[in-house]
Amino acid sequence: MSLIETAPRFAVSRRIYNDENIHHAELERIFRRSWLFVAHESEIAEPGDYVTRRLGIDRVIVTRDEEGGIRVLLNSCRHRGTRLCRADRGNTSHFRCSYHGWTYANSGELRGVTFQPEVYGRDFDKSRFSLFSPPHVDIFQGLVFACWDPEAPSLLEYLGPMAWYLTTVLGKFDDGVELIGVPARTLIHANWKSESENLSGDGYHTPVTHATAFELGLFATKSDLELLGEVSGPRFTGRTADCGNGHTMRIQRLPLNTPRPAFHGYPEELWEQIERNLTPAQVEVQSCLSVGHGTVFPNFSFLENFKTSVDGPGRHARYIRITLRYPLSATLTEVVWFGLRPRGASEEWQRLSRLGYLRTNGPAGMFEVDDLENFVSISQAHEGNVSRDFDFTLEGGLHGQAAPAALGWPGDVVDGDRTERTIRAFLLRWHDLMEGNPSQSQSVTVSHGR
Ligand code: FES
Ligand SMILES: [Fe+2]
């Protein structure tokens, strides 16, 4: 079979989670061509600030140069290729190579060559040896993305309707959002796609994978919700949005009946900002939000979650979480976790937000431990040479026509979030690129906010 078949039924080859040849093709056909997230702007707020990251698996330095511009530089000396910077983060105007001492400004230009007159001559042209850098770097809502493909569309075109949802998550506060602490990193023995798929909108796994979290009260209980307003309707209701190009979103709403928009979990002094900075349709996404999460193809996901009674009844908080996955091999992924919160909230609320994050969706949070165990076991189950010859199914939601939601939300939006449509959208984009079809499935650029 081909790696993905859509007829007569939707079937996916199990090889895509553990085959090293497929992994190498992904690096060339997907990670070399896609816009990839590298850092949050707040991590490099001052000239000289830098963090070291990967673009796909290539190591890069993300730095703010002396003029305030953001640079993404291949973390490898132009002389003999030594890794230039070994720290996770810091502040410096120059990077000096540990092997022979070539020195680069944080703009990437080669400034110093050790013993230059003697070894290379006085006329040696240093301008030929700036650090390599990707041709495209851009920022959207504080998210720094870069792309190695000179032919790539602009970041806004690439994001398409997803820009509107990212603005809802990250663009609703006057002073933006900031990191909670510093990013954490974990190595997991799983394929990078498993988490991308899950966060693309897998509402189906929650009641089973996270059953213990329900028992422990880590999801909103009826008594938590009754403190917020009139509880109505089904316990939870959700929607999914297919934003094209493999980007998808899932939005789950608290079952509350509120006459006015309500942004539970955020301090009430910030509510006016949220309503002012978002469009009415974006307010509809945000009001009474339980959890919203999505994946920007291929390896960036975000999640905005509501935590009730963090350290006592009625003491609710919310946080935003980003995860980024480096595809180190077919069965080894490095995950980087970024916790975010609005600037300007009280210290006490920030403490609640941090506790809620650490307990649930932080790197050692209960939801993450539950989820990662499944992702690891998917790769483990196909270690054998026979099991990987079979396929698996993603037919959830194909049996009936999902009701399109007429809400003015961009993308292809349907009611109901226990479906596999977002995972199919992610994998179909993956398949298009693996088959050598880089054209964008969705080239519509929409206005992304006020
Ligand atoms: S390898 Fe960097 S200076 Fe020689
Ligand atoms: Fe989960």
Show the tokens assigned to 426. Answer: 């992610």
Domain over 158-434 is classified CATH 3.40.50.720: no
Strand order in the sheet with 143-147: 36-40, 143-147, 136-140
Domain boundaries defined on the chain: 36-139, 158-434
> What is the Å distance from ligand 1's center to 83 Cα?
9
In angstroms, what is the span from residue 327 Cα to ligand 2's centroid? 20
What pLDDT, on a 0 to 100 scale, did the predictor assign at position 214?
83
- Whether 291 is in the pocket of ligand 1, judged by its Cβ within 6 Å, is no
SS3 344: coil
How many angstroms does the Cα of residue 328 sit away from the middle of ligand 1? 25
> Would you say the CB of residue 102 lies under 6 angstroms from ligand 1?
yes
- Rounded to whole angstroms, how far apart are CA atoms 329 and 403? 39
Q: How far is the CA of 134 from the centre of ligand 1 (A)?
A: 21
Is the CB of 83 within 6 Å of ligand 1? no
Helix, strand, or coil (residue 390): coil
Computed from CA positions of residues 109, 111, 113, 114, in that sequence, does the dihedral angle turn out positive or negative? negative
pTM: 0.95
Q: Given this model, what pLDDT does residue 401 score?
A: 67
Cα 103 to middle of ligand 1, angstroms: 9
Residue nearest to atom 4 of ligand 1 (CA): 100
Say yes or no: CB of residue 95 within 6 Å of ligand 1: no
Does ligand 1 lie within 6 Å of residue 315's CB atom?
Answer: no
Ligand 2 centroid, distance to 206 Cα (angstroms): 6
The response to whether residue 104 sits with its C-beta less than 6 Å from ligand 1 reads: no
Tell me, using a 6 A CB cutoff, whether residue 77 lines ligand 1. Answer: yes
User: What pLDDT is recorded for position 7?
Assistant: 86
Any atom of ligand 1 within 6 Å of the Cβ of 249: no
Written as tens digits, the pLDDT of the chain (450 aa) is 689 999 888 999 999 999 999 999 999 999 999 999 999 999 999 999 999 999 999 999 999 999 999 999 999 999 999 999 999 999 999 999 999 999 999 999 999 999 999 999 999 999 999 999 999 999 999 999 999 999 999 999 999 999 999 999 999 999 999 898 899 999 999 999 999 999 999 999 999 999 998 888 778 888 888 888 888 876 667 899 999 999 999 999 998 988 889 999 999 999 999 999 999 999 999 999 999 999 999 999 999 999 888 888 888 999 999 999 999 999 999 999 999 999 888 999 999 999 999 999 999 999 999 999 999 999 999 888 898 899 999 998 888 766 676 678 999 999 888 889 999 999 999 999 999 887 765 444 445 555
Indicate whether residue 425 lines ligand 1 (CB < 6 A): no
Q: Count other Cβ atoms within 10 Å, centred on residue 404.
A: 10
Protein residue with least CA distance to atom 1, ligand 1: 80
Burial (0-12, 13-18, 19+ Cβ within 10 Å), 216: exposed
Ligand 1 probe mutation, 73, 78, 79, 116, most atoms within 8 A of CB: 79
Nearest ligand 1 atom to the CA of 82 is 1
What pLDDT, on the 0 to 100 scale, is given for residue 433? 96
In this prediction, residue 445 carries a pLDDT of 43
Distance 304 CA to ligand 2 centre (A): 13
Q: What is the DSSP string of 172-239?
A: -STT-EEESSS-EEEEESS-HHHHHHHHHH--SSHHHHTHHHHHTT-SPPHHHHHTTSEE-SSS-EEE
Model pLDDT, residue 236: 66
Q: Record the tokens describing residue 9, joined without a space.
A: 């039924």
Q: What is the pLDDT of residue 63?
A: 98
Q: What pLDDT score was predicted for residue 444?
A: 42
Determine the length of the chain: 450
CATH number of this structure's domain 36-139: 2.102.10.10
Instruction: Tell me how far the alpha carbon of residue 121 lies from the centroid of ligand 1, in angstroms.
Output: 17
Query: Which ligand 1 atom minimizes the distance to the CA of 100?
Result: 3
* Ligand 2 center to 65 CA (angstroms): 39
Our answer on whether the CB atom of 111 is closer than 6 Å to any ligand 1 atom is no
Q: Report the nearest atom of ligand 1 relative to the CA of 80.
A: 1
Would strands 36-40 and 412-415 be described as parallel, antiparallel, or unpaired?
unpaired
